Amino acid sequence: MHTRDRLFIGGEWIVPATTQTIDVISPHTEQVIARVPEAREADVDRAVAAARQAFDDGPWPRMTPAERADVMKKLVAVVAERAGHFAETITREMGCPISWSHLGQVLSAQLVLDYYEKLTREYPFEERRQGMLGATIVRREAVGVAAGIIPWNVPLFIIALKLGPALASGSTIVLKPAPETPLDALLLADACEAAGVPKGVVSVLPAGREVGEYLVTHAGVDKVGFTGSTAAGRRVAALCGERLKRVTLELGGKSACIVLDDADLGSIMPGILDGALMNTGQACAATTRILASRARYDAVVDALTAAVSAQHVGDPLDPATQCGPLVAERQRQRVEGYIEIGRNEGARITCGGGRPKALRTGWYVEPTVFADVDNHMRIAREEIFGPVLCVIPYDDEADAIRIANDSEYGLSGSVWTSDVDRGVEVARRVRTGTYTVNGFMMEFGAPFGGYKASGIGRELGPEGLQAYLEPKQINCPMGYEPTLR
- Distances from the Cα of 110 to the Cαs of 77, 151, 159, 212, in angstroms? 9, 18, 11, 25
- For 141, phi and psi rounded to 5 degrees? -105, 155
Instruction: Give the CA angle between residues 149, 28, 319 to the nearest 5°.
Output: 95
Residues contacting residue 256 through CB under 8 Å, at least 6 positions apart: 287, 289, 290, 291, 392, 403, 404, 407, 413, 430
Q: By CB neighbour count within 10 A (0-12 exposed, 13-18 middle, 19+ buried), where does 101 fall?
A: buried
3-state SS class at 431: coil
- For 208, phi and psi rounded to 5 degrees? -90, -170
Integer Cα distance of 14 and 43 in angstroms: 9
What's the number of CA atoms in the CB half-sphere (13 Å) around residue 354?
A: 5
Integer Cα distance of 125 and 169 in angstroms: 9
Q: Residue 414: name the closest of 265, 274, 297, 264 by CA.
A: 274
- 127 is a catalytic site residue: no
**What is the arrangement of strands in the sheet containing 135-142, beginning at the earlier edge strand?**
126-130, 135-142, 469-475
Task: Catalytic residue, from 38, 93, 180, 250: name it.
Answer: 250
- 257 is a catalytic site residue: no
> Other C-beta atoms within 10 Å of 378: how many?
13
Task: Catalytic residue, from 192, 284, 323, 351: name it.
Answer: 284
Q: Which DSSP string corresponds to 223-237? A: EEEEES-HHHHHHHH
- For 146, phi and psi rounded to 5 degrees? -110, 155
Q: Which DSSP string corresponds to 390-426? A: EEEEESSHHHHHHHHH-SSEES-EEEE-S-HHHHHHH
- Does residue 476 contact residue 137 with C-beta atoms inside 8 Å? yes
Q: What residues are annotated to the active site?
A: 250, 284
